[in-house]
Amino acid sequence: MFNFEDFAGPAGGALAVAFATGAAAGWGFAEKTVMRWAKKEIKALGDLTKKQELDCHDKILELKRFFDMLDEQYKERISKLEKRLSHLES
């Protein structure tokens, strides 16, 4: 049958432990450096997105008020022009 020492040699167990230790240390390093940075960036982008959404909402309200004002002005102009037209027709 298969004997692990035939495959990895007499130090196979030690090599496996060393590999596992290195892999765990590498994962810990990556998580503390890259993942911490990535989480901060994601949070910063989320905060920026919320601020931009609020700014867009405010701009939309401002534009809505502006166009409502224009609509009222145009309605007044149309009303005046209709009165002039009816006066000219009579």
What is the domain count for the chain? 1
pLDDT for the residue 16: 75
What's the pTM?
0.52
- Could you tell me if residue 56 is inside a domain? yes
Helix (H) or strand (E) holding 62: helix 36-89
- Could you tell me if residue 1 is inside a domain? no
Question: Tens-digit pLDDT profile for the chain (90 aa)?
Answer: 556 565 566 666 677 778 888 999 999 998 888 889 999 999 999 999 999 999 999 999 999 999 999 999 999 999 999 999 999 887
- Could you tell me if residue 2 is inside a domain? no
- Could you tell me if residue 74 is inside a domain? yes
Domain that holds residue 13: 9-89
pLDDT for the residue 64: 98
pLDDT for the residue 2: 54
